[in-house]
Structure 1
Amino acid sequence: MPDASSTVPVPPLPPLAAQAERLIELGVHELARLSADDLRAFAESAGRGTDDALLAVHPDRVPASALAPLLRRDGKPGFVVVDMPDVDRFAPSAVEPPDAPLYLVTGVDRGDRMANWSPEEALPALTEEDRTPLLLTEGIHWVLQQPAVLERNRCFMTIGSRLRKANGTLDARTPAIWISNGTGRDGRERRDAPKVGWCWWGNRHTWLGFASATGRTSQVS
């Protein structure tokens, strides 16, 4: 397993006011049944004394399937892999986002040092460090606000979202965000596009870290 020396710093997030404008530009506020003023007011209040936090919309308001096509890389829109039609059923697992339409995610990290770990190995390590894995929607929000966090060979999993099956067990698939190679069912036209897909719970991938945060809050000053 790689150590912390393999971690590469990622660009900081824009100020919260700029993040709000980005979501408004993309029409996310309308998908969330919020006004542009709602988004701006939250960002203004939450931004007082807050540095490098991510503005997120609760997944119950805007699911991953609606956010993924808003991603862009080299002019190409993001997409969800065809064998993940149930992407929106991947709900928070062992993670409790605030009960509010808008909230902040603090201390976001791409988890490069955990590249080539399996989700099964990464989750207890993050828990021991008092870090919380990102939800899939939070990961998409992060890339929407700072596209440079998604780069070849340094992409990430969002294991805070899991699918619970009818029998109560967790599906072995775990969601991730990476860059398409344009192979297989992705199609050549999607090469280099941002891609929402999945990997097995017990498998390792050298190019996938584990995105996490220090916390979440909907409280504003």
Structure 2
Amino acid sequence: MPDTSSTVTVTPLPPLAAQAERLIELGVHELARIPADDLYAFAEKAGREDGDALLAVHPDHVPASALAPLLRRDDKPGFVVTDMTDVDRFAPCAVELPGAPLYLVTGLDRGDHMANWSPDEALPALTEEDRTPLLLTEGIHWVLQQPAVLERNRCFMTIGSRLRKANGALDARTPAIWISNGTGRDGRERRNAPKVGWCWWGNRHTWLGFASAADRRAR
């Protein structure tokens, strides 16, 4: 496996006030049924304490299927792959979320150092490093606020979200966010568009890292 001692991080996130403004411009507050004033107030209060944190809306309030089309790259909207109609059933797994509609995610890392690992290999390594894998909705929020984090050949999985079957077993798929090549069912018109898809839990991909965070908190 690759050396886990070197972790690649991206440039600092926008201030929380700017992140709140961005979500409001996109209409996320309306999707979440959260008043714009509440979003501004949360960002203002939290911004006094957190200089580099991601403002996230709880997935119970805005699911991945509603957030994905808000992504943009080369003026093309994001999309969910056609064979992932159950995307919103991928719920937090072994991840504790704050019990609030708005919360902060700190210490973000794209996980480039784990490229060519399988999710099955990456999860225990992240746990050992006392890090928590991102949810799919958190990954989308990250790209909404910082589009440059999604680079061709440097995309990421969000293995904090898993789908549990009726029998209690976990689905073998794991969600990821990458850039479409415009092939197959994606369609040529979607080339270079942000794409929410899935990979098998036991497979490796040289171009997918594992996005993670240091912590989540309501304030």
Query: Secondary structure at the residue paired with 2:117?
Result: coil
Matches within 5 A, 1:127-138: 127-138=127-138
Deviations 1:180-201 (A, max 9, x none): 0000000000000000000000
Amino acid at match of 1:178: W
2:51 & 2:7 partners in 1: Cα distance?
21
Query: Secondary structure at the residue paired with 2:197?
Result: strand
Task: Please tell me whether residue 29 in structure 1 is matched to residue 29 in structure 2.
Answer: yes
In the alignment, structure 2 segments of 5+ residues that lack a partner are: none
Residues 129, 5 of structure 1: CA spacing in aligned structure 2 closer, same or farther, 3 A cutoff? closer
Deviations 1:28-54 (A, max 9, x none): 000000111010000000111211100
User: Is the 8 Å Cα contact of residues 8 and 110 (structure 2) preserved in structure 1?
Assistant: no
TM-score (norm 1): 0.97
Task: Please tell me whether residue 124 in structure 1 is matched to residue 124 in structure 2.
Answer: yes
Amino acid at match of 1:36: A
User: Is the 8 Å Cα contact of residues 7 and 109 (structure 2) preserved in structure 1?
Assistant: no
In the alignment, structure 1 segments of 5+ residues that lack a partner are: none
TM-score (norm 2): 0.98
User: Is the 8 Å Cα contact of residues 76 and 192 (structure 2) preserved in structure 1?
Assistant: yes
Count of residue pairs brought into register by the alignment: 219
User: Is the 8 Å Cα contact of residues 68 and 78 (structure 2) preserved in structure 1?
Assistant: yes
User: Is the 8 Å Cα contact of residues 134 and 158 (structure 2) preserved in structure 1?
Assistant: yes
1:133 & 1:34 partners in 2: Cα distance?
26
Residues 5, 182 of structure 1: CA spacing in aligned structure 2 closer, same or farther, 3 A cutoff? farther
Query: Secondary structure at the residue paired with 2:98?
Result: coil
2:187 & 2:2 partners in 1: Cα distance?
32
How far 1:7 sits from its partner (Å)? 5.0
How far 1:93 sits from its partner (Å)? 0.1
Match of 1:68 in 2: 68
Query: Secondary structure at the residue paired with 1:22?
Result: helix
Query: Secondary structure at the residue paired with 1:117?
Result: coil
Task: Please tell me whether residue 82 in structure 1 is matched to residue 85 in structure 2.
Answer: no
How far 1:12 sits from its partner (Å)? 1.6
Amino acid at match of 1:22: R
Match of 1:171 in 2: 171
